[in-house]
A and B are shown apart, each in its own frame.
Chain A
């Protein structure tokens, strides 16, 4: 057949045979080999590289919009918001899309820089990264600013600029409890304080919506591909902190730092001794949480002269200082406050009782291991024979060395451990420091009792303020050691409780009886002893003073820098509040440096406001009732007789000016709070003369009656707080209007009275 075909085809020009052969080669090459090759290549791309290429394709085809989880709110114990999140938006640019769609970088940059106030040059250089997508331009914009960008994008149909939902953190109470709450960074990640510690709870989980998009970034046509992943909003946190108590704490601490010029700063903690819950915690140098990176103008001024490197180093250091939570991060030598524990352990061990007596001759020698000078009591000449309570009231070091020696190093060490001084308290805050102690081998050396002796009155070791407050709480609450906590409850967005912190007594350190005895003695310290400046009228306040020097610095630089402190508790029959105040490096120019003189009145002031707030009813003694400041009644329009009766009822005296029928005006004004017995001026039938400005007299160191007289001479009135005006050693410590400042005549000046009768570094 084939042969026949070939023959037929032979048409005389030339045989077709060669064409058939060549064509067959073409058939094999073009029809078979080429397609086998294509098949292999297709298999390589489609099947072998499928996963990799599909992933890249989906990456560009899908638009993932984050559904931002809202960060949880931080509430105080009363439900007042301390940190809240609000919706904001962040502007991003997409240089990849800019290049792809040929949009004008210069034009966009100039518009955006105008709308957002960002730098044009840095914006246009960002656009040069044409392989990148989603570079943030300005974060957390709101309201009109965001709307203007949105308008600009839609008017120009831009694909290289977009807005993404973001959230912004607000702190409605600005600086309140700043060192505790902390703040978040630009990405809403907690950087400091509770914001950092509880970040995991607060953050929540961002949700996503995945949609297919076309090249212009809008939704793909006819596509029902859409995937939702719901956002889980962050949990809310309720703190044990009560913002009112926190406010009192900060107010009085700030006042104390100003009054006593405490250049090293200050810290204060208020704790509920029955739960270990922190009611307030303050570090001086608080900052505005809404602008955590802003440094006070003074510091900015002081470092402005430095070169760039020094400037940024100092700036960073200043920020760290202002963020530092001294109440848990600083360690210090507690000094005499620590005698509370020496006392408690000796009582618990039955080594002393309230009838024990101690002799202090001013110095003590013969402590094993002590070479050189004997131990000295702060009071030259000594306290002579004292009962146990008197030894505490006097804060007598010699008596406490003897008590410590009686307890013995091993038992002492065991109690220190039980009071939690060797471990971090485990408070739910970041940045808690560890204490510094002698090792047990050194502390319990048989022939060297000097560590024990010093530790007995609170020296030669370092602890944190939070450790001290926690242990004092245990001593006064009946002996239960609680783990301090600042977060009461974590609830999810639906209100379910995720975490509920129950007060947890980790161990019993001392018995109920010991606790009661210690409470009684500490109350005596305030009512009769070195802590009497913490006295609050109507309340049974107890506590202990402490004054130490920074011995390391003293040895190195010869400078004495004091840390004065007072740890108080009230009411002593059933303590509801323990407050510790530490003032770092107060100035000798502002008064005699001691815990009793400086920290105790601060604690007293805090207590005087916090206790009524906590609902503890005052119970005034007859004597105290007479001392209470009184509110001036309104007298206008009254006859002299009526006015006199009203004033007498209020415990005030008066003098008249003019001889009209009725009272036309009065000084001080109605409702002003003044000391009892104040002589009110009533104007009869004639107007009060225009108040002249007067200069406030210097009252520092004056007794109450001297101060009252000095103020009356200046045409001013007095009101006193602090120890009773009738107390033997009561003198003015600070005055509400500093000496020399001008004040309107007839104004009321508040003086803080302290008892200076026992001055010493107790």
Chain B
């Protein structure tokens, strides 16, 4: 009896997996409430912090201290609604569009190079009047979705890299579509140029492939190579210190690395942003100067409501407040991976892990930059940094995870 139930279940499951049948919506489970709550808490705190962090610059630059806040609030509301909407579509439904999403995002990356007006010499944005849209944000989801699809399809061939019996040929054939998609995306991002997005794309690709079962030895090898490269770059930065600091030479990226290591060498220019961020973070102390009381936001700290909003959080709320927010992020990320681990199938699991991994990478890189753990790169903090389209995208991604959570066997069983 039990066996028949299993067989029937498997059969149906196969039909679903093979997109022959959709799970009817009324039969789906509830959204994962802890995940949803964590998102909404972080979103609320983030919007409040935009108000606090931006009112000085909004006043000076826009003549209206709540300019950024009201916009962010509107996008947050729209984004939250969008998140719920997205969660109503099954991931299996989305799966069909995955490769198109990748192709579309690559097309947009090409288009942005052609039509976008350069801002500060870079072409990253489509100006939609209400807001700007970065195709790189779409590309991130495109990579996650398409890599998840491809890992389901070719994953088995990537499990083990063998030299014997020409087995490596099969491995390379399986790896080729990944390499192609990644190379095209990264190349286009470097042309924009948008290095931080390229870094994130590579990282999330690695996360999906790692989760999907890529040969562990290759993963270790890649990490080893990355570590060596980092060590080499740091060594190079130390040796070109004099050139960069005293004669103002050095490549753009090299200068950033030198001033990451020695921000105090040029407090007015090269090290300005790093130092101002550290002043803000350090001023907070254990308990902070109080919500709304930041002094660094008075135009000292550039990008104080964007990439450096967490510095203002640290200044105003202190170590206790900042650590609390870190803990909320950690819980969200843990819950995201937990959902991945409990997902209905491999594709669901990979998408959930990919999106959660992307979230984790962005949070980690952003806060590392704010605290000068890593060199300065332009990475925003999810739910906190000001930016309408990015917030919409992030909430849509959360909607995907919520959708996955609804199809988890344990929720459905419950």
Residues of chain A whose beta carbon lies under 8 Å from any beta carbon of chain B: 5, 7-14, 16, 18-20, 22-27, 30-32, 34-35, 37-39, 41-47, 49-50, 52-54, 56-58, 60-61, 96, 99-100, 130-131, 212-216, 220-221, 223
CB pairs A–B below 8 angstroms (22 shown)? A5-B342, A7-B6, A18-B213, A19-B341, A22-B213, A23-B337, A23-B349, A23-B353, A24-B337, A26-B207, A26-B356, A31-B333, A42-B371, A46-B319, A47-B286, A50-B283, A50-B286, A53-B279, A58-B283, A61-B298, A61-B300, A214-B298
B61 within 8 A of A: no
What CA separation (Å) do A35 and B323 show in the bound complex? 9
Contacts of B284 in A (CB 8 A): 46, 50
Q: Is B291 an interface residue (CB 8 A)?
A: no
Q: How far, in angstroms, from A12 to B330 measured CA to CA in the complex?
A: 33
The distance in angstroms between the C-alpha atoms of A100 and B346, with both chains bound, is 53
The segment from B73-81, B83-91, B359-367, B386-394 found at the interface with A is B359-367
Residues from chain A with a CB closer than 8 A to the CB of B350 are 19
B25 to chain A, nearest CB (A): 20
Min CB gap B72→A, angstroms: 20
Tell me the nearest residue of chain B to A60, going by C-beta.
B300
B279 CB to nearest A CB, Å: 4
Specify which chain B residues have a CB less than 8 angstroms from the CB of A99 in the assembled complex.
268-269
Closest to B292 in A: A222
Neighbouring B residues of A60 by C-beta, 8 Å = 279, 300
Say yes or no: A16-B346 contact (C-beta < 8 A), given A22-B211, A212-B295: yes
* Min CB–CB distance A216 → chain B (angstroms): 7
Q: How far is the CA of A332 from the CA of B333 in the complex (A)?
A: 94
The 6 closest A-B pairs by CB, nearest first: A53-B282, A30-B360, A27-B337, A214-B298, A57-B279, A215-B299
The residue that A52 contacts in the complex, of B282, B299, B318, B356, with Cβ under 8 A, is: B282
A8, A25, A46, A220: the one contacting B322 at CB < 8 Å is A46
Q: Which residues of B contact A31 (CB under 8 A)?
A: 330, 333-334, 336-337, 360
Contacts of A42 in B (CB 8 A): 281, 314, 319, 322-323, 326, 367, 371
Which residues of chain A are within 8 angstroms of B279 by Cβ–Cβ distance?
A: 53-54, 56-57, 60
Contacts between the two chains (Cβ within 8 Å), count: 199
Among the listed stretches B8-16, B30-38, B105-113, B225-233, which one makes contact with chain A, having 4 or more residues with CB under 8 Å of it? B8-16
Is there contact, CB below 8 Å, between B281 and A45? yes
Chain B residues near A221 (CB-CB < 8 A): 56, 59, 298
Given A45-B282, A47-B319, A57-B283, A39-B213 contact (CB < 8 Å): no
- B255 in the interface, Cβ–Cβ < 8 Å? no
* Interface check B373, CB cutoff 8 A: yes
**B372 interfacial contact with A, CB 8 Å:** yes
* B344 within 8 Å of A (CB atoms): yes
**B126 at interface (Cβ–Cβ under 8 A)?**
no
Report the minimum CB–CB distance from A37 to chain B (whole Å).
8
B-side interface residues toward A, CB under 8 Å? 6, 9-10, 13-14, 17, 56, 59-60, 152, 155-156, 159, 207, 210-213, 267-269, 272, 275, 278-286, 295-296, 298-300, 314, 318-319, 322-323, 326-327, 329-330, 333-334, 336-338, 340-346, 349-350, 353, 356-357, 360-361, 364, 367-368, 371-373, 409-410
Q: CB-CB < 8 A to B268: which residues of A?
A: 96, 99-100, 130-131
Nearest Cβ on chain B to A59's Cβ, whole angstroms: 9
Could you say which residues of chain A place their CB within 8 Å of the CB of B278?
45, 49, 53
A170 to B361, CA, bound (A): 69
Contact A38 B282 (CB under 8 A): no
A100 to B6, CA, bound (A): 71
> B367 — which chain A residues lie within 8 A by C-beta?
38, 42
In the complex, what distance in Å separates the CA atom of A623 from the CA atom of B403? Answer: 132
Measured CB to CB, the nearest residue on chain A to B282 is A53
Q: How far is the CA of A58 from the CA of B319 in the complex (A)?
A: 19
Name the CB-closest residue of B to A53. Answer: B282
CB closest residue in chain B, given A38: B367
Q: Among B14, B286, B299, B336, which residue has its beta carbon within 8 angstroms of that of A11?
A: B14
| A37: B residues at CB distance < 8 A | 373
**CB-defined contacts of A214 to chain B, threshold 8 Å:** 56, 60, 298-300
CB distance from B46 to the nearest CB of A (A): 17
Using A16-B345, A31-B334 as known contacts, list a sample of 10 further A-B pairs with CB atoms less than 8 Å apart, ordered by residue number in A. A11-B13, A18-B159, A30-B333, A31-B330, A39-B326, A41-B368, A50-B282, A58-B283, A100-B272, A214-B56
**Chain A residue nearest in CB terms to B295:** A61
Candidate in A43, A96, A215 with the most chain B CB atoms within 10 angstroms: A215
Q: Which residue of B lies closest to A48 (CB)?
A: B282
How far does the alpha carbon of A50 sit from the alpha carbon of B283 in the complex, in Å?
6
Q: Is the CB of A30 within 8 A of B337?
A: yes
> Could you say which residues of chain B place their CB within 8 Å of the CB of A5?
342, 409-410
Nearest CB to that of B347 among chain A residues?
A: A13
Residue among A25, A43, A50 with the highest chain B CB neighbour number at 10 A = A50
| Least CB distance, B287 to chain A, in whole angstroms | 10
Q: How far is the CA of A18 from the CA of B13 in the complex (A)?
A: 19
Within 8 Å CB of B156, what residues of A? 14
Q: A8 contacts which chain B residues (CB < 8 A)?
A: 9, 13, 409
Q: How distant is A260 from chain B, measured CB to nearest CB, in Å?
A: 66
Task: Closest A residue to B337 by CB, please name it.
Answer: A27
Is there an interface contact between A54 and B337, defined as CB atoms closer than 8 Å? no
Partner of A38, one of B213, B344, B368: B368
Query: By the criterion CB–CB under 8 Å, are A20 and B349 in contact?
Result: yes
- Taking a contact as CB atoms under 8 Å apart, the answer to whether B364 and A30 are in contact is yes
In this complex, which of B267, B275, B329, B337 has the most chain A Cβ atoms within 10 angstroms of its Cβ? B337
| Pairwise interchain contact B371-A38, C-beta atoms closer than 8 A | yes
Could you tell me the distance in whole angstroms from the C-beta of B328 to the nearest C-beta in chain A?
Answer: 10
Which residues from chain A contact B410 at a C-beta distance below 8 Å? Answer: 5
Complex alpha-carbon distance, A50 and B284, angstroms: 7
Q: How far is the CA of A216 from the CA of B367 in the complex (A)?
A: 28
B-side contacts of A96, CB under 8 Å = 268
Complex Cα gap A58–B285 (Å): 13
Q: Which residue of A lies closest to B153 (CB)?
A: A13
Question: Closest CB-CB distance, B17 to chain A, in whole Å?
Answer: 5
B232 to A: closest C-beta gap in Å: 22
- Measured in the bound complex, the distance between the Cα atoms of B349 and A19 in whole Å is 7
**Alpha-carbon gap, A212 to B371, bound state (A):** 24
Q: Are B340 and A23 in contact (CB under 8 A)?
A: yes
- Bound CA span A18–B280, Å: 44
Q: How far is the CA of A213 from the CA of B268 in the complex (A)?
A: 17
Q: How far is the CA of A8 from the CA of B16 in the complex (A)?
A: 13
Which single member of B59, B345, B373 contacts A9 (CB below 8 Å)?
A: B345
A23 neighbours in B (Cβ, 8 Å): 211, 337, 340-341, 349, 353
A27-B338 in contact given A12-B10, A19-B346, A46-B284 (Cβ < 8 Å)? yes
Q: How far is the CB of A673 from chain B (nearest CB, A)?
A: 75
CA distance A79 to B295 in the complex (A): 51
Q: Which residues of A contact B14 (CB under 8 A)?
A: 11-12
Docked CA distance A212–B296 (Å):
11
Query: Closest chain A residue to B212 by CB distance?
Result: A19
User: Residues of A contacting B409 with CB < 8 Å?
Assistant: 5, 8-9
Bound Cα distance A3, B75 (Å)? 43
- Give, as a whole number of angstroms, the nearest-CB distance from B34 to chain A: 13
Report B-chain residues with C-beta under 8 Å of the C-beta of A38: 326, 364, 367-368, 371, 373
A19 partner residues in chain B, CB cutoff 8 A? 211-213, 340-341, 346, 349-350, 353
A215 to chain B, nearest CB (A): 4
The distance from the CB of B401 to the nearest CB of chain A, in whole angstroms, is 13
Whether B337 pairs with A26 at a CB distance below 8 angstroms is yes
Q: How long is the Cα–Cα vector from A23 to B341 in the complex, in angstroms?
A: 6
List the B side residues contacting A50 at CB < 8 Å: 282-286
CB-CB under 8 A from A27, the residues of chain B are: 333-334, 337-338, 341
CA distance A13 to B367 in the complex (A): 39
Complex Cα distance, B318 from A54, in Å, reads 12
Q: Would B17 and A12 count as touching, CB distance under 8 A?
A: yes
Considering the chains assembled together, what is the distance between the CA atoms of A315 and B272 in angstroms?
A: 48
**A725 → chain B, closest Cβ, in Å?**
84
Per a CB cutoff under 8 Å, which of B285, B341, B344, B361 touches A54? Answer: B285
CB closest chain-B residue, reference A214: B298
